[in-house]
Amino acid sequence: MKLYDLELSGNCYKVRLFAALANIELEIVPVDFMAGEHKSSVMLALNPFGQLPVLEHGEVVLRDSQAMLVYLARLYDLESWLPSDPQQMAEVQQWLSTAANEIQHGPNVARLVDKFGFEFDKPTALDISAGILTLLNDHLAEHDWLALGHPTIADCAVMPYVAIAPEGGISLDDYPHILAWIDRIKQLPGFIGMPGQV
């Protein structure tokens, strides 16, 4: 199974992290993002959105890191990471949507501006970040994990861009429950990190 990958991408890291925690073997295929390889005809044939990561498993080709976490968890029948019970599955899914929305438009965008020089709206990204980080911190004051009382793919989806938020000028010092949660994830067997992580 191939993961077309960029080391500095939090979206790619979500998939690498889950695969490491769940002991799933991936063939990592580095893509030269700075040279625009993700927009090459070969890559666009795999993902017309022109984005990384891309997961290729035989005939199955997927874009979107959240979708990849779902695919891997269900492919290997990893009930504790993504239960098939409707209510429990939906509780995990709520957080996958948060990863693709508030986290992507908040801490991710702020980092794209500061670290990579993108001309996005940083004040709006900081507002979104303050809202979602406060909400997360409050949630984690009462819960060790985002959903179901144990690690799930929700934690793998949400943590990456939160843990590298300081690269977008967002300190996590005011969010002690988030920092404690990141530490709990780091203690999981098989954990791997990414550059820039707190």
Given the rule CB under 6 A, which residues bind ligand GSH?
Answer: 9, 11, 38, 50-53, 64-66, 100
User: Considering beta carbons, is residue 101 or 134 the nearer one to ligand GSH?
Assistant: 101
Provide the 10 A C-beta neighbour count for residue 168.
22
- Least Å distance, CB 118 to ligand GSH, is 10
Q: Which is nearer to ligand GSH, 52 or 126 (CB)?
A: 52
Give the Cα separation of 148 and 155 in Å (integer): 11
Kindly report the number of other CB atoms within 10 A of residue 60's CB atom.
10
Distance set, CA 43 to CA 16, 51, 61, 131 (Å): 19, 9, 11, 35
Q: Which is nearer to ligand GSH, 11 or 137 (CB)?
A: 11
Shortest Cβ distance from residue 194 to ligand GSH (Å)? 11
- State the nearest-atom distance from the C-beta of 172 to ligand GSH, in Å: 20
Q: Which tokens belong to 43?
A: 């890559």
The rounded Cα 14 to chain-centroid distance in angstroms is 4
Exposure string for 142-153, b = 16+ CB within 10 A, e = fewer: eeebbbbeebbb
Q: Which two tokens mark 45?
A: 């044939």
**The pair of three-digit structure tokens given for residue 24, joined into one six-digit string:** 């799933």
Nearer to ligand GSH, 115 or 177 (CB): 115
Closest of 48, 41, 45, 9 to residue 28, by C-alpha: 9
Q: How far is the CB of 52 from ligand GSH (least distance, A)?
A: 4
In whole angstroms, how close is the CB of 49 to ligand GSH at the nearest point? 7
Nearer to ligand GSH, 100 or 179 (CB): 100
Instruction: Provide, rounded to whole angstroms, the least separation between the CB of residue 20 and ligand GSH.
Output: 17
Return d(Cα 81, Cα 158) in angstroms, integer.
14
Q: Which is nearer to ligand GSH, 124 or 134 (CB)?
A: 124
The DSSP bridge partners found for residue 28 are 3
